[in-house]
Every structure is written in structure tokens, then in C-alpha cells.
Structure 1
Amino acid sequence: MTTFVLAGGCFWCLDAVYRTLRGVSAVVSGYTGGLTAFPDYESVCTGMTGHAEAVAVTFDPTVIPEDVILDVFFSLHDPRQLNRQGNDRGTQYRSAMFYSDDAQRLLFEAARNRASDAWDGGVVTTIETLPRWYEAEGYHQDFFAKNPGQGYCMAVALPKVVKIRKSYAEYVLSS
């Protein structure tokens, strides 16, 4: 099993999409990349902790290739937007990839290069060493499935889930 820690806007969207893919055994929402110890959602939302909303995606690379996990990441958000995704603004919504070793760093760099080609350049996604990881509060875990009628889920997360189901159909779990 392999785990990638990725930040691309609100973690609810990333969580919702990755949970639909075969080979993904766990998706955990959390905070990383900042200096504040033991942050909570309210403090991260201020933008003052330095942390990004992120997901730790654990998957079996013999079922779903590492490149697919990373290409999905770059399909889920606009990696050209600095410190924001849509109406979500602040460093907590930045596009970032957090590596745990040099092999991951190289994979992440290659994925960012592919994304730069796909997005015609201007990708601002950072590639950073994975600092301490803080798991988000329980109500953030599997938020989309628990709150399908919530406004943000309907307007923002659902279209992303639909997009990935079409674009990566061969990796989507059967319903």
C-alpha cells in the first residue's frame, strides 16, 4: 500500500472523489504544511496556521497506478489558482503535494509536469516535504457521503465526482 498526501482546495471534494476509486483503501482528511501544533478546523480556516486542508490517500498501486492517483488530483482542481479554489480563498486551500521520500518527490514532479502540459502552464502546485500530519475532526471524514444534500456538496463536490467517474471510468468502483 502507498499513501499520498495531497491538498487541492477543500478536502471534502478530494475525499469524495478518491473514495469512488478501486484500489483506494482509505482517505483521511486532515491538515499539514503549517507550523501550528494540533490545529483544528476553525484555526485552519483563519489562514493563520499555515496548514492546508489535505487528504491522505492510501491505495494499492497494483490496482490503481500511482500516476492515475496523481492525474486525478490534477483533474479535480485548477492547479493554476494560487491559494484558492473557486470561492474558497486562503493558503489553507492551496494546491500542494507532500512527499514522504525522494521516490514520491520524483513522482510528484513528473505529475506536476504532466499537469503543466495539460493546463497550458502556470501550475502553482507546490511540492513540499511532508511535515507533521494532523487528522481532521470526525465530521470531516467522508463528509460528502454523510451530507449529500448539503449545498457545498451539491454545487461543488458532486460535479467533481461526476467528472472523475466519466474520465476515469475504468478505475471507478461499481455501485
Structure 2
Amino acid sequence: MAHEIATLAGGCFWCLDGVFLRLRGIDKVVSGYMGGPLQNPTYKQVCNGDTGHAEVVQIHYDPAVISFADLLEVFFVIHDPTTLNRQGNDVGTQYRSAIFFHDAGQEKQARETIATLTAEQAYHNPIVTEVVPATTFWPAEGYHQGYFDANPYQPYCMAVVAPKVRKAIDKFSAKLK
């Protein structure tokens, strides 16, 4: 079976990249921007919060090894899907929680996952994750790719990314490479 693409936004893309790169069945993870009208946005423009883009990761995966449902399970554990336009101290629409679906199957799975988590009362507050069609993906600048692995001692990585990576390693050890 051909490999597929999932595009997820859950705060800073360094966090998502740092986690998803460690999972079996993931061929590559590309940090970038999606969801806004500006062509070829830069990190500085997106960080200003007025481009409409979210920081996203595009995950290239083998569905025979890891399913889209598995990716969503990890996604909903490593970020807070109940805070609108914010993850921790990162505030702005660029840090929103979103699932950019690439086909009807991904849309259905995303909506079912959110419905299940809501029914189970997995969170104290309502889930605000957007489920929207994928639009043009703009890869981020090269230095953002694999940022956590290249910069594990950078203060933001130590304080914010590393705990999310540890949480994923502890909870999803059976899915690790």
C-alpha cells in the first residue's frame, strides 16, 4: 500500500516533530505552515499571528504499520486540544489545534475520535480542535526540520518539547522505532 500524509497542528511544530519522528511507520515529518492565504510564509510572518497559518507537521507514514487513528491517539495525548489558539505560553492562531484532513476517511476518523474523547470526558473542557480540509502546505525553513533532535539543550526544547517527547515515549513505547 502507498504511504499516506497526515497534517496536524498542535502548538509549536518542534513539539510534534520531536514526537512523531520516533514512531514506527513514520517515514518523515516536515514542519511547516498551513491554513492561511499568504503564499510562501516565513516563520517570522507566521509568528506575528496575522497570516492565518498554523504551525503544522506533515507526517508521511505507512498505514500498514501505523494507522491514522494511531496518529490521532498520540496527537491528543501530547497537546491540549481544549485551549483555543494556545499551547502553554505559546499564544496565537498559529498555535491552534487542528487536523487538516486529506480525504474523507481522515475527516471521518478525526470527527469520530473527537466524539469518542468527548463522550468519554477525556478532558475537563470541550475540545476545540478544528477539523478542516488540507490546503497548500508550505515547508518551514530548513533549521526547523528535526529541530528538537538537533537542539535538545535549547531552553525551549528542554522546558517544553522534552517533556512531551518523554510523555510519548512512556505512553507509546510499543509504537516506537
Question: Which residue among 151, 168, 175 is the counterpart of 1:171?
Answer: 175
Distance 1:38 1:114 in 2: 36
Alignment deviations for residues 29-74 of structure 1 (CA, whole Å, 9 cap, x no partner):
0000011111000000011100000000111121122211111001
AA in 1 matched with 2:79: H
Scaled by the length of structure 2, what TM-score is found? 0.95
Structure 1 unaligned blocks of 5 or more: none
AA in 1 matched with 2:152: P
Question: Which residue among 122, 127, 136 is the counterpart of 2:126?
Answer: 122
Q: Which residue of 1 aligns with 2:5?
A: 3
Distance 1:114 1:138 in 2: 37
Distance 2:79 2:44 in 1: 23
Scaled by the length of structure 1, what TM-score is found? 0.96
AA in 2 matched with 1:8: G
Distance 2:69 2:105 in 1: 13
Equivalent pairs counted in the alignment come to 173
Structure 2 unaligned blocks of 5 or more: none
Alignment deviations for residues 65-109 of structure 1 (CA, whole Å, 9 cap, x no partner):
221111100111000000000000000000001011211111111
1:139 has 2:143 as partner: yes
In the TM superposition, what are the counterparts of 1:85-104 in structure 2 within 5 Å? 85-104=87-106
Distance 2:93 2:39 in 1: 17
Q: Which residue of 2 aligns with 1:21?
A: 23
Query: SS state of the match for residue 128, structure 1?
Result: strand
Q: RMSD over aligned Cα, in angstroms?
A: 1.0
Structure 1 residue 13: Cα displacement? 0.2
Q: Percent of pairs identical after alignment?
A: 47
Contact 2:68 2:106 in 1 (8 A): no
Structure 1 residue 115: Cα displacement? 3.1
AA in 1 matched with 2:39: A
Query: SS state of the match for residue 41, structure 2?
Result: coil
Contact 1:74 1:115 in 2 (8 A): no
Runs of 4+ in 1 over 4 A off after TM superposition: none
Question: Which residue among 31, 34, 38 is the counterpart of 2:33?
Answer: 31
Q: Which residue of 1 aligns with 2:156?
A: 152
Q: Which residue of 2 aligns with 1:75?
A: 77
Structure 1 residue 19: Cα displacement? 0.5
Question: Which residue among 49, 62, 65 is the counterpart of 1:63?
Answer: 65
Q: Which residue of 1 aligns with 2:14?
A: 12
AA in 2 matched with 1:158: A
